[in-house]
Structure 1
Amino acid sequence: MTAELVRGQNHPLTRTRLEIRISAGDPVIAGATLGDEDGRVAGPERVAHPAAPHLPGLEVPQQAAADHRLAVDLEALPEGVHRVTVLLALPNGVGGPSRFGTVAAPFVAVTGLDGTALVSFTITGLDAESAVTALELYRRRGAWKVRAVGQGYADGLAAMLRDQGLPQAAELAATVQEAVTRGMARTIAPPPRTPGDGTRVRTAAGLPPGESGPAPQPPPRPPAAPVPPEARPPQQQAQSGSPVDYRHPGRVRTAPPSPPPQASPPEPGRPPQPVAGDASGWTMDERLYNQVWGMFEDLARSVAAYRSAVDFADSRQEQELQRVLSDPRSRIGGAGDEARAAAGAKHTALVDRARAVLDRDLAQLIAESEVVEPALPSAFAGWASPVWHGYRVPMEIPMAMRLGDLHLPERPELRIPMLVRLPLERGLWIDSGRSRSGPDHALGSDGLRRAAVEAAVAHVARLLAVHPAGEFTVHVLDPAGSATASLAPLLESGVLREPPAAGAAGVTAVLSRLTRRVDLMQMAVRGGAPDALPPDLDTGEQLLLVNDFPHGFDDRAVTQLRYLADEGPSVGVHLMMVADREDAREYGPVLDPLWRSLLRITPVPDDHLADPWVGHAWTYEPALAPAGSRVLVQVLRQVAEARRAYGR
């Protein structure tokens, strides 16, 4: 039976290999310190955090997330360690909550490797604190216990580390926050959680009972304090809990969403047949969106369980071999060989069982993908989908669109659509520089830059295609005119209201016009006077596509670009940059906030994106039209014709 602790209560630990599982309503930083008998931490080398996640006997996550798993092996801790303190902190400067009093109460559970929950603790009563000591594992008279602490620190992570006797607390806290900021810049934002959203039966992968298993479910947490409608921005007033209102203006919802379609009962001994749209939602598109995110989460957690099981098998084999080698009598003769063979056999058996469970879950996800992919609407579908052959300009803005596909090395052929919410909450950066893992060496520098522009054109085409006629305008900056050939589909179809701006003068004119639009829209929103906007101001969604940054940009233009990246999305001005960060290195750290504010994607496959649950490195592939296909040009021509028909 799980012991539910309250603040200050302790409980004996009957196991030495543990997992500490954390569930929070918003992304938090998770770390741990190794202290002596008095709880003092000798130095930064005794702190596990996102920038240094591995210590002997201790492993913590490498980024902020709403859910965490920390691995602890009490027998493998360094000599002299008597206390393991688990820390939580809110990330700085990423637009999230700044104090724990505004988020759901964090839930912490200590479990065995088989998933059996030993103790749990819900950290309540927090207010202005931005960091909290969740719990501690401590040793008394040779036995280990766990204590629920829940002590908060209004002065943040530095104050918490300083309280444990760490003299370099401020420097280490800054290092942790910087590492988390870099990690969150590459994390795919999860869909907003609302009651009933994304309801779906999860499958869990891992070892059979006795080795690993599903995580215990935390008790229901109280919801965050509601924000009164009059205090919300206009785009948030129509739909509580979501920053995006994707409803039709004339649609009034007075009834709960209809239940998702149900599959027929499975045959005995066989898994249920997948059904497209089996998640909850108001519309079929919303159900499919939630289902895709459910598949994404299932794959992330299944692979995490498999990798954890393999790590456990490796650690167990290493410890058994160390015990064999530490005994001089077993180093020679047949006893040593037999012990080594036995350890190897156990390792193989554990890995094989974990792989069998993973393969079972992967097979189910592949079957689901084969059903879901053909059912996706054009906004969610790949360019090769037949749905584009029947394309018609939509009358409503969809809730999301597809940017590409994601996959993991355990099963590369299982592709998860990468869907991002609309309107875009972050700008996009198509990196034309050298990727870390992609096959861009065959393209060369010029070829990679051309591929980056072509990827940008494909993303622009989809943005135009999923918006109603005339409700999305694209501005292009191509100061050197180097992307004319790649921009041909946009130019020839007539979807651009004006040709790409060239030279420094063109850059200045477009940036000044968009900056003025953002200023006027913000003043109208804050002043509650939308009728005061100039009649010639286009209030529709705007996209600025920038190629070859920073060519043609002076310091003023760079400042305006940073302003548009920060303030533009809230009033419908979005940024898409095709750039190599090395080209802008002369600006130094001045542009670091700009790069972090944008979602980095690549024109070639690259494993640079992370999921929001366990932080896997996912290989991203852009959504491009098939080679030789005219689908992109045909869609853009329909968009241009619809715009002319509506006189826009």
Structure 2
Amino acid sequence: MTAELVRGQNHPLSRSRVEIRVSAGTPVLALAQLGDDTGRLAGPGAVAHPGARALPGLEVPGAASGQHRIAVDLDAVAPAVHRVGLVLVLPPGGPGHFGAVPASYVSVADPEGAELAGYTLTGLESETAVVALELYRRQGAWKVRAVGQGYAAGLGALLTDAGLPAPAAAELAAAALGTAPAGDITLAVMPGGPAPTVPRGLRAPATAQTPTPAPAPAPQDVPAAPTPTPPPMPPQPQAGPDTAGGPPTISYAHPRRRTSTEPPEPAPRPAAPPRPGEQPRPVAGDASGWSMEERLYNQVWGMFEDLARSVAAYRGAVEFADSRMDRELDEALSDPRHRLGGSGNAARDAARGRREELVARAQEVLDRDLVQLTSESEVVEPALPAAYARWDNPVWQAHSVPAEAPLALRLGDLHLPERPDLRIPMLVRVPLERGLWIDNGRTGSEAAMAMDTDRLRRAAMDMAVAHAARMLAAHPADRFAVHVIDAAGAGAASLAPLVRAGVLAGAPAAGAAAVTETLERLTRRVDLVQMAVRAGAPEDLPPDVDTSDQLLIVHDFPHGFDDRAVTRLRYLADEGPAVGVHLLMVADRDEASAYGPLLDPLWRSLMRLSPVPDNHLADPWVHHAWIFEPDLPPQGSRVLNQALERVAAARGRAR
């Protein structure tokens, strides 16, 4: 039985040799692109097109046609290739866009000819190039996913979005379109060795001319009441709360700090290949990367994307089933033949039955994916390093201050209503490229409105202290200096662990004069480091300038701030991250409303977090509204204090 897919839905493949079939309402070019585990292309050589048809495992046609049969040998593709994408392009001189022709149908069949999965590319309008579907590798097994990602700007835009530089993408698109004669062709299997690709997260030596892989996307701020229906891709940054232009596009991927020829750590032992019809057994660290830490980071992002797309497919299938049932019910009611007797009831019952059948099939697919992701989460979560782990993870009990900075830090967990117990770690890359704002106002969410004001403010400050403690504990002892502005002293109880451990750069700033002095000192550091970097002489900094990274925690803003202090804070938020000064604010936006729109750029420049569950973050693939929950130490536990004590001891040894 053929699995009828909707956009975003996937289906397992039990064969390594398959045939992709294309049936289009007009002649189209069929191209193939080979990507890493994020879908990024290593270079122009990762695209098979009419001017360069052969790639390991397949060969693409040299002609446009309304029918294609594409044989693919997945065992022959390079080990670094995780995705094989089928691209359909309208040739020059043909219809202007896909919306002007009947919907194309693509399917994957086994070598005997039986279709395994099919997908109708509906909803296309002005697009002239589209990624129809992709075969992708997940935990050693292959799946097919319906993509349907179209580009009105054509093949060049598609290739640019896949990671090629714009000039190379334009040149490749011209070559693909300019060498395509008319006719028909069937693709054949092409044996061969691995293609020269660079796995995601792997940085070649500085002297090698290899393309740099694109970074992973990050969660984006979304409005308070977003629509969960998945829009067409590619992803774009969402607008933050009551903003016009949205936050800047920020990457939280691996900073690729390794530049030597040092070999990567050994990969984890792969699990035994699954039996036919059996889901692959998950393995912690099965993604690409130099180290286990980086592989786990990339694996978490893979789980995040898989869950986003699986739920998008389910929601899309339910929406389609509902709309089809409504249409069939309208037709039944408008047919005079159904107004007498029981035929009308029968037609309505049949429409509802078809709807229930579609929803049940979609639920079955979603349940299968959720079971697999849950199994993977149960393997990955215990293997996470301290920087990525929950505070209740036993790894914190044996934690020691590291000698090298981590790739990322965990801020909390993300989940969707379809499976609340399946939590995906929310990892943010460090050094922070964007400040954090912990919203202690009661207007942010229903959970905040139901909470007592004092308890909410205490929870927000506890959350800020937990983030600061994790940042200190996950970095080398002398890497971070933490400053605190608590003008009214209202956060003293939450700040006690930091003060008691002696890990702050100074006493928390209380009162207007201390606020001004702290801001002036950090502003001076930003100015001096910027000038030194521009002059290419960082060694000429004055001896009193602390070259370690700085974290400024601001509590109860704007209490204690005058206009000049507000201007300095905005300057630190904008200019500080580039030179190692990072901002963590705990504030209620409503309380700063007296400044009017003056502070709107400040709020937009920060990533908003909530101390209570809230759905203000979206994934960059299908823009689901994810429920964010902060990660805090268990009540009554000493894990945070122990981590800070280790930081203080490590600093003492380093002096």
Q: TM-score, normalised by structure 1?
A: 0.67
Name the aligned partner's letter for residue 509 of structure 1: E
Q: CA deviation at 1:328?
A: 2.9
Q: Which residue of 1 aligns with 2:469?
A: 461
User: Do structure 1's residue 540 and structure 2's residue 548 form an aligned pair?
Assistant: yes
Q: 1:482 to 1:461 in 2, by over 3 A?
A: same
Q: CA deviation at 1:441?
A: 3.7
Hey, what's the Cα distance between the residues in 1 that align with 2:532 and 2:652?
A: 29
User: Do structure 1's residue 588 and structure 2's residue 596 form an aligned pair?
Assistant: yes
Name the aligned partner's letter for residue 577 of structure 1: M
Asked if 1 retains the 8 angstrom alpha-carbon contact of 2:611 and 2:630, the reply is yes
Q: 1:600 to 1:449 in 2, by over 3 A?
A: same
Hey, what's the Cα distance between the residues in 2 that align with 1:281 and 1:245?
A: 10
Q: 1:457 to 1:178 in 2, by over 3 A?
A: closer
Q: Deviations over 1:309-334 (max 9, x none)?
A: 11100110011011111123313431
Hey, what's the Cα distance between the residues in 2 that align with 1:405 and 1:555?
A: 36
Hey, what's the Cα distance between the residues in 1 that align with 2:404 and 2:237?
A: 40
Hey, what's the Cα distance between the residues in 1 that align with 2:389 and 2:443?
A: 26
Name the aligned partner's letter for residue 9 of structure 1: G
Q: Deviations over 1:184-217 (max 9, x none)?
A: 857995554xxxxxxxxxxxxxxxxxxxxxxxxx
Q: Which residue of 2 aligns with 1:122?
A: 155
For residue 300 of structure 2, the aligned residue among 258, 283, 292 is: 292
Which residues in structure 2 correspond to 1:197-208 (within 5 Å)?
A: none
SS for the counterpart of 1:513 is helix
Q: 1:18 to 1:332 in 2, by over 3 A?
A: farther
Which residues in structure 2 correspond to 1:327-406 (within 5 Å)?
A: 327-406=335-414
Task: Output the aligned Cα RMSD.
Answer: 3.3
Q: Which residue of 2 aligns with 1:604?
A: 612
Identify which range, 11-20 or 500-509, moves more after superposition. 11-20
Hey, what's the Cα distance between the residues in 2 that align with 1:16 and 1:586?
A: 56
Q: 1:123 to 1:624 in 2, by over 3 A?
A: same
Q: Which residue of 1 aligns with 2:130?
A: 108
Q: Which residue of 2 aligns with 1:9?
A: 94
Q: 1:550 to 1:302 in 2, by over 3 A?
A: same
Hey, what's the Cα distance between the residues in 1 that align with 2:244 and 2:327?
A: 33
Q: Deviations over 1:294-323 (max 9, x none)?
A: 000100011111111111001100110111
Hey, what's the Cα distance between the residues in 1 that align with 2:248 and 2:548?
A: 28
Which residues in structure 2 correspond to 1:52-131 (within 5 Å)?
A: 85=126, 108-109=130-131, 115=146, 121-123=154-156
Asked if 2 retains the 8 angstrom alpha-carbon contact of 1:260 and 1:287, the reply is no
Name the aligned partner's letter for residue 591 of structure 1: L
For residue 527 of structure 2, the aligned residue among 519, 527, 530 is: 519
Q: Deviations over 1:417-476 (max 9, x none)?
A: 001111011100000012554523443112111110011011011011111112101000
Asked if 2 retains the 8 angstrom alpha-carbon contact of 1:438 and 1:604, the reply is no
SS for the counterpart of 2:425 is strand
Q: Which residue of 1 aligns with 2:451?
A: 443
SS for the counterpart of 1:390 is coil
Identical-pair percentage: 59
Identify which range, 584-593 or 403-412, moves more after superposition. 584-593
Q: 1:398 to 1:631 in 2, by over 3 A?
A: same
Hey, what's the Cα distance between the residues in 1 that align with 2:535 and 2:308?
A: 44
- Structure 1 stretches lacking a partner, 5+ long: 21-68, 75-83, 87-105, 129-133, 135-175, 193-241
Q: 1:253 to 1:355 in 2, by over 3 A?
A: same
Name the aligned partner's letter for residue 596 of structure 1: R
Q: 1:359 to 1:587 in 2, by over 3 A?
A: same
For residue 571 of structure 1, the aligned residue among 579, 584, 593 is: 579
Q: Deviations over 1:6-31 (max 9, x none)?
A: 455317779877899xxxxxxxxxxx
Q: CA deviation at 1:408?
A: 0.2
Identify which range, 328-337 or 478-487, moves more after superposition. 328-337
Hey, what's the Cα distance between the residues in 2 that align with 1:12 and 1:616?
A: 27
Q: Which residue of 2 aligns with 1:139?
A: none
Q: CA deviation at 1:117?
A: 6.7
Name the aligned partner's letter for residue 346 of structure 1: R
Which residues in structure 2 correspond to 1:141-290 (within 5 Å)?
A: 179=239, 182=243, 191-192=252-253, 244-247=255-258, 252-255=260-263, 258-259=266-267, 261-290=269-298
Q: CA deviation at 1:269?
A: 2.9
Q: Deviations over 1:110-157 (max 9, x none)?
A: 79xx949799841369989xxxxx9xxxxxxxxxxxxxxxxxxxxxxx
How many residues are aligned here? Answer: 472
Q: Deviations over 1:31-76 (max 9, x none)?
A: xxxxxxxxxxxxxxxxxxxxxxxxxxxxxxxxxxxxxx999669xx
Name the aligned partner's letter for residue 644 of structure 2: L
User: Do structure 1's residue 411 and structure 2's residue 419 form an aligned pair?
Assistant: yes
User: Do structure 1's residue 556 and structure 2's residue 570 form an aligned pair?
Assistant: no
Q: 1:117 to 1:293 in 2, by over 3 A?
A: closer
Asked if 2 retains the 8 angstrom alpha-carbon contact of 1:188 and 1:611, the reply is no
Hey, what's the Cα distance between the residues in 2 that align with 1:384 and 1:183?
A: 39
Q: CA deviation at 1:628?
A: 1.0
For residue 326 of structure 2, the aligned residue among 298, 318, 321 is: 318
SS for the counterpart of 1:544 is strand
User: Do structure 1's residue 485 and structure 2's residue 493 form an aligned pair?
Assistant: yes
Q: TM-score, normalised by structure 2?
A: 0.67
Asked if 1 retains the 8 angstrom alpha-carbon contact of 2:413 and 2:631, the reply is yes
Q: Deviations over 1:557-585 (max 9, x none)?
A: 11111111111001100000000110111
For residue 479 of structure 2, the aligned residue among 453, 466, 471 is: 471
Q: Which residue of 2 aligns with 1:103?
A: none
User: Do structure 1's residue 531 and structure 2's residue 531 form an aligned pair?
Assistant: no
For residue 638 of structure 2, the aligned residue among 627, 630, 640 is: 630
